[in-house]
Amino acid sequence: MDLTQLKAGEKAVFKEVLGGWGIKNKLEAMGITPGVVITKISAQLMRGPVVIKAGETELAIGFGMAKRMIVEKIRE
């Protein structure tokens, strides 16, 4: 599934991002690399940005970019 399909409050493992060097570099710089556990904090109406938390970093990611981030939900 992709990041936009995850519900607010759910945890997931980040798998990969479907995109070029630029987007990978941005995520990498924030410490978001494959295998990192993230928590979705919120989503906005009408394809607004998604806010996630990775470690202590809280990050707002545009909808289109979130759509390209593949994650695997962690069932508790």
Q: Which residues contact other proteins by CB under 8 A?
A: 8, 22, 25-26, 28-31, 33, 36, 41-49, 51, 55-65
Q: How far is the CB of 26 from other proteins (least distance, A)?
A: 6
Closer CB to other proteins, residue 16 or residue 62?
62
Q: How far is the CB of 31 from other proteins (least distance, A)?
A: 5
Closer CB to other proteins, residue 12 or residue 69?
69
Q: Contact 52/38 with Cβ under 8 angstroms? A: yes
Q: How far is the CB of 5 from other proteins (least distance, A)?
A: 17
Q: Which value, in Å, is the radius of gyration of the alpha carbons in the chain?
A: 11
